[in-house]
Amino acid sequence: MNEQLVAHMIEAAIAQLKFSYAPYSEFKVGASLLAGSGKIYTGCNIENAAYTPSNCAERTAFFKAVSEGERKFHAICIAGGKDGILTEYTAPCGVCRQVMMEFCSPDTFKVILAISKEQYKIYTLNEMLPFGFGPANLV
């Protein structure tokens, strides 16, 4: 991934923090997802008074994209922090990693954890979810 694209994805993820609906945890998360078409889909976390219906920023982005016809993905960028203040890397939860496993190649899909445009780390999905279970297991 070239640096300009990474910077653009980080900006898009951070821009989502203002839409985060997190009145319970007050932990705001933004995500940007680069789809096969080249389009970037965004998402934020959306909490719920009943807690379990809450949705992470990553899944919001994935479900927006899949519901618009996307089936292939190159990379996701995630930025999050208490009150939307970015001081540490926010890694995807296990449920979101499993959703990535459904649509993404574990060896090539990139997970970008960002604090700022200058401070970020890139992992493959395989590093995030080793020995994951996916569609290939069912053929």
- Point out the residues that are catalytic: 58
Q: Which residue, 37 or 91, is less far from ligand THU as judged by CB?
A: 91
Residues contacting ligand THU: total by CB under 6 A: 16
Helix (H) or strand (E) holding 76: strand 73-82
Q: What part of residues 98-117 is at the interface with ligand THU (CB under 6 A)?
A: none
Using left for φ > 0, alpha for ψ between -120 and 50, and beta otherwise, residue 106 falls in alpha
Amino acid identity, position 24:
Y
45 lies in the site for ligand THU, by CB under 6 A: yes
Q: What part of residues 68-97 is at the interface with ligand THU (CB under 6 A)?
A: 78, 80, 90, 92-93, 96
Choices 6-14, 53-61, 120-128, 129-137 (CB under 6 A): range interacting with ligand THU: 53-61
